[in-house]
Chains A and B, each alone.
Chain A
Amino acid sequence: MNTVFKKSDPGREGVWPAKADKSASEMLPAGLLRVKPAGLPSLSELDVVRHFTQLSRRNYGVDGNFYPLGSCTMKYNPKFTETVAALPGFTRLHPVLPQLKGAGRLCQGALEVMFETEQMLCEICGMKAFTLHPMAGAHGELTGVMIIAAYHKDKGNKKTKIIVPDSAHGTNPASAAIAGYEVVNLPSKDGIVDPDELAKVLDDSVAGMMMTCPNTLGLFEKNLPKIVEMLRKVDALLYYDGANLNAIMGKMRVGDAGFDVVHLNLHKTFATPHGGGGPGAGPVGVSERLVPYLPISRVEKLEDGQFFLNYDFPKSIGYVAPFYGNFGVVLKAYAYILRLGGKGLTRATENAVLAANYLRKRLDSVLDVPYDRICMHEFVASACNLSGCHVRALDIAKMLLDRGYHAPTIYFPLIVKEALMFEPTETESLDTLDQFADDLIALLAEARANPELAHNAPTTLPVTRLDETRAARNMELTDDL
């Protein structure tokens, strides 16, 4: 399929904008003027409609088929949340309104949604307060680590390190490093954090530890109470990466377990659209001692029931996002939480864990499952048992594409060789899980019998096997228009 630029046929037109009253050179400084035309494609409206319709048909989404991408919780996003987010009372609001004198009363509904979402997230996680500002998971991580840094600075603590277990979510080390900390990698033992290993790296210079629980192997960190106790002794804070909240929501509150900071991924756990780079939302919750450092603004409720934005927090880390984060995403999560209620959220968790364990048991006779015990919402298998016939995790992932599935996460976490990480989520039926398992089992048999078939997959998609190495070595990110 050609790009819209390649399809351009000079002279063809789709829109005829009104002629400007003045030329650009009368309105812009000389340095900002183009020296050559913009290189926009010349096409009719129908050409453009067909181009994008054809592109959209090549899209793959959970609305089309099963999407077991591990660590990402690609659950179905119920459509009623779109209806709520499209209500004109929300879409026609101007984001500056709450900051204008007297105009706060014109957007009380939106402020109430923000206030209540924060309250509900506090209830779900057992935290004291939340900010909705961070616009993605990694953004939430950075915000959370900055809050940890602000706490230590305020207390006069000299802290330089953040501990990150090797079973933690992949973005954690980067977030800690960008916040200015030295990252200490903590090897896990039998798939989880081991207090004896932690003791070897824990000292007064440790500002905090970032944990993913259940971790990226889908295993619950059962030494958590001991870990909390050890960290408290050196005034190190415990950070919860909410990537895997879908495994514990309604069952365990991270605040009750002793976590000081948590970020959630609304686009994972709370069923807002996910992928394509966003928009996501990564709200951050904190325990009582960290409340003063939350970003501004914060939404508050007056005694008369009015909501307003408070900017007066002298110890705040300041602004982390324009306006109030991705409000539309927050709105969908708000609708989702209210619709499911506490019982519904808990059932979602139960079904997510059940689905993962069902799939694990169906597949553990054909794939290696290195930590083959009851898992949480996802599990990691290994394609190592196919290395004898030179078939790798990558090949299996590509073969799945040919059968109409999205591939599982591969080569992550790094602690499992030839990793294939499956997360079916709670919204898949038993039929879908069985069909997927049957197809994968058949595919593995095919791959063993004929490795060449595996190496050539996919063959039915718009693009076949890509040369990933060449793409990484000779990156071409621009096109000369």
Chain B
Amino acid sequence: MIPKDLKYAKSHEWAKIEGDVATVGITHFAQEQLGDLTYVDLPKVGATVTMGAEMGSVESVKAASELYSPVSGTVTEVNAALENAPESINQEPYGAGWMLKVKLSGPVDGLLDAAAYEQVCAEEAH
């Protein structure tokens, strides 16, 4: 369920790092906890995001929740399809539900691997 090739933040975002670009989204666990998403608010292309800082928010039928960037850098691409189809995040959190592409400002440090993140989810499920 938790892809091995991604890195994870404790706040339930994932990052796929390829060279100096990271693709960012929220995890399956996060979308499951949030319930059906109805709205996504993401930064614009060119905006700066900082690891651990707020980068946007999502709204579900249950609540509005902040998103925290798992990486630091500049936004180069935003998944515009989410505006009209936030359900992609529920359906394919690691695929069509990706949120941002970020040009990294430096090496990424401090994210969890799949095994460590699985542990985080197991603890929170209690």
- Check A473–B86 contact: CB distance below 8 A: yes
Q: Does B38 contact A (CB under 8 A)?
A: yes
Which one, A411, A412, A473, contacts B38 given CB within 8 A? Answer: A473
Contact A472 B61 (CB under 8 A): yes
Encoded as 1 (CB less than 8 Å from any B CB) or 0, chain A from 458 to 481 comes to: 000000000011001100000000
B10: CB under 8 A from chain A? no
Interface 0/1 of B84-96, CB less than 8 Å to A: 0011000000000
- Report how many residues on chain B are interfacial, defined by Cβ distance under 8 Å: 10
Residue of A411, A412, A473 ringed by the most chain B CB atoms within 10 A: A473
Closest residue of chain A to B39 (Cβ to Cβ) is: A472
Flag if A469 contacts B36 (CB, 8 Å).
yes
A414 neighbours in B (Cβ, 8 Å): 63
Interface residues of B in 61-79 (CB under 8 A from A): 61-63
When chains A and B are docked, how far (Å) is the Cα of A414 from the Cα of B65? 10
CB pair B38 A472 closer than 8 Å: yes
Docked pose: A255 CA to B76 CA in angstroms: 53
B65: nearest chain-A partner, CB-CB: A414
- Residues of chain A lying within 8 A (CB to CB) of residue B36: 468-469, 472
Docked-complex contact B63 and A411, CB < 8 angstroms:
yes
Q: How far is the CB of B96 from chain A (nearest CB, A)?
A: 16
Q: Could you say which residues of chain A place their CB within 8 Å of the CB of B61?
A: 468-469, 472
Residue of B nearest to A472 (CB): B38
Cβ contacts A399-433/B at 8 Å (1 or 0 each): 00000000000011010010000000000000000
CB of A411 within 8 A of CB of B87, answer no
Query: Closest CB of chain A to B32's CB: distance in Å?
Result: 11
Q: How far is the CA of A414 from the CA of B39 in the complex (A)?
A: 18
Give the A interface residue count (CB, 8 A). Answer: 8
Task: Determine the residue in chain B with the shortest Cβ distance to A414.
Answer: B63
Chain A positions within 8 Å of B39 at CB level: 472
By the criterion CB–CB under 8 Å, are A411 and B62 in contact? yes
In the complex, what residues of A have CB within 8 A of residue B87's CB?
Answer: 469, 473
CA distance A190 to B54 in the complex (A): 26
Q: Cβ of A473: which chain B residues have Cβ within 8 Å of it?
A: 38, 86-87
In chain B, what residue has the closest Cβ to A410? B62
A468 cross-chain contacts in B, Cβ below 8 A: 36, 61
In the docked arrangement, what's the CA distance between A473 and B86, Å? 8
Whole-angstrom distance between the Cβ of B83 and the nearest chain A Cβ: 11
Q: Across the interface, which residues of A come within 8 angstroms of B63, CB to CB? A: 411-412, 414
Rounded to whole Å, the gap between the CB of B86 and the closest CB of chain A is: 7
Query: Whole-angstrom distance between the alpha carbons of A468 and B62 in the complex?
Result: 10
Nearest to B84 among chain A residues (CB) is A473
B40 to A: closest C-beta gap in Å: 11
In the complex, what residue of chain B is closest to A469 when comparing beta carbons?
B36
- Please report the C-alpha to C-alpha distance between residue A473 and residue B61 in the assembled complex, in whole angstroms: 9
- Shortest CB–CB separation between residue A239 and chain B, in angstroms? 22
Shortest Cβ gap from B126 to chain A (Å): 9
- On chain B, the residues within 8 Å of A472 by CB distance are 36, 38-39, 59, 61
**Shortest distance in angstroms between B123's beta carbon and chain A's nearest beta carbon?**
13
Docked-complex contact A469 and B62, CB < 8 angstroms: no
Please give, as numbers and ranges, the residues of chain B lying within 8 Å of A411 by CB-CB distance. 62-63
Q: How far is the CA of A252 from the CA of B100 in the complex (A)?
A: 51
Closest CB in chain A relative to B61 CB, distance in Å? 5
Contacts of A412 in B (CB 8 A): 63
Interface positions of B from 2 to 33, Cβ below 8 Å from A: 33
Q: Which residue of A lies closest to B61 (CB)?
A: A468
The CA of A412 and the CA of B61, in the complex, are separated in Å by: 12
Chain B residues lying within 8 Å of A417, measured Cβ to Cβ, are 33
Measured in the bound complex, the distance between the Cα atoms of B63 and A433 in whole Å is: 30
Chain A residue nearest to B66 (CB atoms) is: A185
- The docked-state distance in angstroms from the alpha carbon of A387 to that of B38 is 23
CB distance from B1 to the nearest CB of A (A): 17
Complex: A472 Cα to B61 Cα, angstroms: 7
B33 CB to nearest A CB, Å: 8
Interface 0/1 of B41-70, CB less than 8 Å to A:
000000000000000000101110000000
Q: What separation, in Å, do the CA atoms of A412 and B64 have in the docked complex?
A: 12
Which of B36, B39, B59, B86 has the most C-beta atoms of chain A within 10 angstroms of its own C-beta?
B36
A364 vs chain B, min Cβ distance (A): 18
Report the separation of the CA atoms of residues A389 and B112 in the bound assembly, to the nearest whole angstrom: 31
Q: Complex Cα distance A411/B64, Å?
A: 12
Measured between alpha carbons, how far is A90 from B118 in the docked complex, in Å?
A: 65
Nearest-neighbor residue (CB-CB) of B86 within chain A: A473
Which chain B residues lie closer than 8 Å to A469 at the CB level? 36, 38, 61, 87
Report the minimum CB–CB distance from A131 to chain B (whole Å).
Answer: 31
Whole-angstrom distance between the Cβ of B56 and the nearest chain A Cβ:
16
Q: A203-224 toward B: CB 8 Å interface, digit per residue (1/0)?
A: 0000000000000000000000
**Bound-complex Cα distance A357 to B36 (A):** 34
Which of chain A's residues have a CB closer than 8 A to the CB of B59? 472
Q: What's the minimum C-beta distance from A421 to chain B, rounded to whole angstroms?
A: 14
| B49 shortest CB reach to chain A, Å | 18
**What are 6 of the A-B contact pairs (CB < 8 Å)?**
A411-B62, A412-B63, A469-B61, A469-B87, A472-B38, A473-B38
- Which A residues contact B (CB, under 8 angstroms)? 411-412, 414, 417, 468-469, 472-473
* Additional 16 contacts, C-beta under 8 A, given A412-B63, A417-B33, A473-B87: A411-B62, A411-B63, A414-B63, A468-B36, A468-B61, A469-B36, A469-B38, A469-B61, A469-B87, A472-B36, A472-B38, A472-B39, A472-B59, A472-B61, A473-B38, A473-B86
The 7 closest A-B pairs by CB, nearest first: A472-B38, A469-B36, A411-B62, A468-B61, A473-B38, A469-B61, A414-B63
